[in-house]
Structure 1
Amino acid sequence: MGGGDGVTDIEASPDGPVDRRMALAREWDDLVGRVRGLGGFEDFLRPPRLDSLLPAASGGPVVVVNVSRWRCDALIVTEEGVRNRALPDLTLDRATEWANSYLETLHAAEQAESEHQLAYDTVRADPKPSAIRAQQRAAGALMTAAHRTDEMLGTLQRRLWDSVAAPVLDELGLHRAPASADGPWTRLWWCPTGPLTLLPLHTAGYYDAALDETEPRTVLDRVVSSYTPTLRVLTEARAGRGTGGHAGTDDAGAPEEERMLVVSVGDAPGQPWLPNAGAERDTLTELFPAGRHTLLEGPGATRGAVEAALARHRWVHFSCHGDQDLAEPSRGGLLLHDGVLTVADLAARQSRGDFAGLSACKTAVGGVNLLDEAITLASALHYTGYRHVVAALWSVDDRTAARVFDAVYRYMTVDGHLRPEAAAPALHRAVRALRREMPDQPRLWAPFTHIGP
């Protein structure tokens, strides 16, 4: 069979597996070389060059927070280059512990909300004394869960400030609030990794202490924050939306791509009623009157109808239930009238959208086992072509969501035309206003995030 060197006859033969692998390797190298010879593909399968990524920071610094078992650092990217800020108070174990506590507390709050809704529905169907007592117990448990969520978030915000945000802002010299609340504000993009992808870095700070108006210890009062999954995605988003087929024109005469698509499903089968979905619909139909919006509502908001309409509209707002599967993120999505429009569904198509508003539960929560892949519903929309996405990190009170989106759209809209570039400042204003009213209830104002340039 073989000689003393241990190589078999078949392996040594010209047609053996070794030679075949070598031939395939040469063929692969040749094909890669040919692809790199094509215009625009010079860096095919190569790590991106630094000078190709620096334009991501043209609107403000981008902070890549690297979390590893060896050490943690903030890589601060500006148009001039990259500098490193060590984060000695942050470790992988701590970040994982914080993320686990965060997820467990939010899950308990969702369970309490679900049990309270069930008890409430039972009383409405049959208001007997035992059902009323059960509903009162569920209401008490819901209040306890809300208090625990606020406590957890307050602790988390302080930890994120001390370990990440304060060192980064100090390194950038961003110590003070703007002289006027109306700006100009510094923009900053967070690009977290590992367990931090789940956590609200944009609200890091000390909110339980008197606010120092000059040097506030809060991110919200120093910069306007946005998120990006990667530097390359942000660079591409800055370059503008891609070219594609031209949208059609409807009977009212306005190009469909210049209309707001409103998807409103307040009464999805098997889901609790969302009483404020109608309020969001009314805000949008006021700001985008007849001829400036397309409304898919209730039974008309099916998966097929929504997918078809998404291809023809640059702006979309979803007011519905949302869900995220922490074990299999691609299965999460938006709950429409006839089923779930999933992350996988959205990722399978390309859009030319400029803005997506997601007034839905948990639209920005990622998967526990795939933290660095950022395959959330919000990120999926961003990856597939929506340059700006506003979403929520966890289940939100629909009345609060309606208030936030009302303020956001009123700031962004001029004469029936949406200004997507105003999304981040609009959200920042709305969240700060809500925070001033209820600083000790971060569960209500902290979840809202912006992804995009």
Structure 2
Amino acid sequence: MVEPHSAQRKVIDRRVALAREWDELVGRARSLGPEFAGLLDPPRLSDLTPDFGRGTAVLINVTPDRCDALLVSAGGVRSVPLRDLNLREAADRTTAHLARLARLEAAAARMMHTAHWARARPAATNFTAHHRAKTELLQAQDDVDGHLSADLVWLWDAVTGPVLEHVCSGGVPRRPDTQVWWCPTGPLSFLPLHASGHHDGSGVSVLDRVTSSYTPTLRALARAARPPREERHQRMLAVIVEDLAGQPPLPQAEAELALLRELFAGDLLTVLDGRAATRAAVLDALPHHRWVHFSCHGRQNLSTPSRGGLLLADGPLTVTELGRGRFDGEFAFLSACMTATGGVHLSEEVVTLGAGLHYAGFRHVLATLWSIDADVAAALAHKIIKPLVTDGRLDPTGSAAVVNDAVRSLRTDFPTRPSRWAPIIHTGP
């Protein structure tokens, strides 16, 4: 019979031996060269703050006890208490926002379904059903935009306004050369911080004060800020899936492809469209292209976000599959539905398609927080990609400013429809 104390000593001795073995292995790995010297060490602040210039990374911490924003810049780190922000209200507003978006998506699907039957079988009952579906869609749209406008004001008052008081020394006047990288956590990951404010012509909004980008982590931002290793693969990859069984058509895909053919002539453009746009073909092509444009549907799994993906000819290209890649890309344009919506329970981990491509090696990523209209998607391609291209070469250096200009332009076009311009985000340096 083994004594209890003897058995416990054996467990402790085993753990001590494993700890020593671990330390030895880490030490050996660190001795392999200077690039491994800091292996598994906590990152130093200097390693996480590249040349920010006039920029500031804003990490927002939301907990049941208190909420704060950490402002990280070239000058160091400051903490800004967010006294008007609390976890319960943030969660309640996010839950309600997602529910309204879901109702809008369902109403749009019903409208398209009834339109199909009204064309296929012209009958009074089908026309009535289609008219009712259109009415429901308009009501759902009004519901989303009305509450979203209020949420944008709340976000400014509780979160972004207090932050910009410190970033912009009072927040006025507009400083277009000041860049802010938002890094939200928890339920705030679903809300458009960059679009928050009082959009009444007063200029009291983030869009009117700074240039906004997003980053999933400081480490990801520091990595993306490094220049690309080589000037190779200067080509655009276009992945076009306009019609897919079980999904509404994407009428903007044809216009987006025409724009890309205009900007990238000859062998500067590779097109994978229709049945050719398979998961294997896309994964094989990504490492050989510096830029990529996805015009297809996206799907998010809110309970298991890593299973969400871009819907290609033979199935979804998932966040997990993208994360396995190591691409040396500069720019990715995701003209797809729900491309930047993460999981409800894992929202603080920012497991999204946009973040997946960013982690996988694309330095600048344009995505949307929820579905956008076909006409808005087509307009975005012109407003964002065209200014970045000269003689078939895309320079994404100023893409954050271009994206912010495009959002402001759409706000001017649709002042009462923030659902059309608020979801558009830029991720990267």
TM tier relative to shorter chain: over 0.9
- Residue matched to 2:210: 223
How big is each residue's C-alpha offset from its partner over 1:322-349, in whole Å with a ceiling of 9 and x where there is no partner? 1111011111111112211111111111
Alpha-carbon distance in structure 2 between the residues aligned to 1:433 and 1:78: 29
For residue 64 of structure 1, give the secondary structure of its aligned residue in structure 2: strand
Tell me if the contact between 2:67 and 2:85 (Cα under 8 Å) persists in the aligned partners.
Answer: yes
Deviation at 1:11, TM superposition (A): 4.1
**Pairs within 5 Å for 1:109-120:** 109-120=104-115
> What is the RMSD computed on CA atoms of the aligned residues?
1.6
Q: Name which of 183, 192, 196 aligns with 2:184.
A: 192
Tell me if the contact between 1:258 and 1:313 (Cα under 8 Å) persists in the aligned partners.
Answer: yes
Tell me if the contact between 2:176 and 2:211 (Cα under 8 Å) persists in the aligned partners.
Answer: no
**Pairs within 5 Å for 1:219-298:** 219-242=206-229, 257-298=233-274
- Residue matched to 2:25: 31
Q: Which amino acid aligns with 1:230?
A: T
Residues 87 and 388 of structure 1: CA distance in aligned 2, closer, same or farther (over 3 Å) = same
If you compute each CA radius of gyration, which structure gives the higher value, 1 or 2?
1
Tell me if the contact between 1:269 and 1:337 (Cα under 8 Å) persists in the aligned partners.
Answer: no
Q: Name which of 70, 78, 89 aligns with 1:83.
A: 78
Alpha-carbon distance in structure 1 between the residues aligned to 2:94 and 2:12: 47
- Residue matched to 1:451: 427
- Residue matched to 2:289: 313
Instruction: Give the structure-2-normalised TM-score.
Output: 0.96
Q: Name which of 342, 345, 352 aligns with 2:318.
A: 342
Matched, 1:122 2:120: no
Deviation at 1:59, TM superposition (A): 5.3
Deviation at 1:358, TM superposition (A): 0.3
Deviation at 1:270, TM superposition (A): 2.2
Tell me if the contact between 2:302 and 2:342 (Cα under 8 Å) persists in the aligned partners.
Answer: yes
Tell me if the contact between 2:54 and 2:177 (Cα under 8 Å) persists in the aligned partners.
Answer: no
Q: Name which of 61, 74, 77 aligns with 2:56.
A: 61
Count of equivalent residues: 427
Alpha-carbon distance in structure 1 between the residues aligned to 2:304 and 2:159: 29
Q: Which amino acid aligns with 1:229?
A: P
Tell me if the contact between 1:56 and 1:234 (Cα under 8 Å) persists in the aligned partners.
Answer: no
Alpha-carbon distance in structure 2 between the residues aligned to 1:102 and 1:119: 26
Deviation at 1:18, TM superposition (A): 3.1
Q: Name which of 380, 384, 387 aligns with 1:408.
A: 384
- Residue matched to 2:149: 154
Q: Name which of 20, 37, 40 aligns with 2:14.
A: 20
Alpha-carbon distance in structure 2 between the residues aligned to 1:378 and 1:11: 49
Matched, 1:176 2:172: yes
Tell me if the contact between 2:330 and 2:396 (Cα under 8 Å) persists in the aligned partners.
Answer: yes
- Residue matched to 1:92: 87
Matched, 1:107 2:102: yes
More displaced stretch, 292-301 vs 364-373: 292-301
Q: Which amino acid aligns with 2:293?
A: H
More displaced stretch, 22-31 vs 138-147: 22-31
Tell me if the contact between 2:176 and 2:209 (Cα under 8 Å) persists in the aligned partners.
Answer: no
Alpha-carbon distance in structure 2 between the residues aligned to 1:28 and 1:43: 15
Deviation at 1:184, TM superposition (A): 4.6
Alpha-carbon distance in structure 2 between the residues aligned to 1:184 and 1:132: 50
For residue 362 of structure 1, give the secondary structure of its aligned residue in structure 2: coil
> Which portions of structure 1, spanning 4 or more consecutive aligned residues, are displaced by more than 6 angstroms?
none
Structure 1 unaligned residues grouped into runs of 5+: 248-256
Q: Name which of 301, 304, 307 aligns with 2:280.
A: 304
Alpha-carbon distance in structure 1 between the residues aligned to 2:235 and 2:325: 20
Deviation at 1:10, TM superposition (A): 4.0
Deviation at 1:34, TM superposition (A): 2.6
Q: Which amino acid aligns with 1:187?
A: Q
How big is each residue's C-alpha offset from its partner over 1:262-293, in whole Å with a ceiling of 9 and x where there is no partner? 11111122211111110111111111122321
Q: Name which of 123, 127, 131 aligns with 1:132.
A: 127
Q: Which amino acid aligns with 2:123?
A: K
More displaced stretch, 37-46 vs 144-153: 37-46
**Pairs within 5 Å for 1:411-426:** 411-426=387-402
Residues 163 and 10 of structure 1: CA distance in aligned 2, closer, same or farther (over 3 Å) = closer
Alpha-carbon distance in structure 2 between the residues aligned to 1:302 and 1:414: 30
Alpha-carbon distance in structure 2 between the residues aligned to 1:73 and 1:50: 19
Alpha-carbon distance in structure 2 between the residues aligned to 1:156 and 1:284: 36
- Residue matched to 2:138: 143
Alpha-carbon distance in structure 2 between the residues aligned to 1:36 and 1:198: 39
Tell me if the contact between 1:60 and 1:186 (Cα under 8 Å) persists in the aligned partners.
Answer: yes
Q: Which amino acid aligns with 2:371?
A: S
Tell me if the contact between 1:408 and 1:430 (Cα under 8 Å) persists in the aligned partners.
Answer: yes
How big is each residue's C-alpha offset from its partner over 1:291-334, in whole Å with a ceiling of 9 and x where there is no partner? 32111111221212211111210100011111111011111111
Instruction: Give the structure-1-normalised TM-score.
Output: 0.91
Q: Name which of 324, 333, 341 aligns with 1:365.
A: 341
Q: Which amino acid aligns with 2:21?
A: E
How big is each residue's C-alpha offset from its partner over 1:149-176, in whole Å with a ceiling of 9 and x where there is no partner? 1012101100100011110111121522
Tell me if the contact between 1:285 and 1:293 (Cα under 8 Å) persists in the aligned partners.
Answer: yes
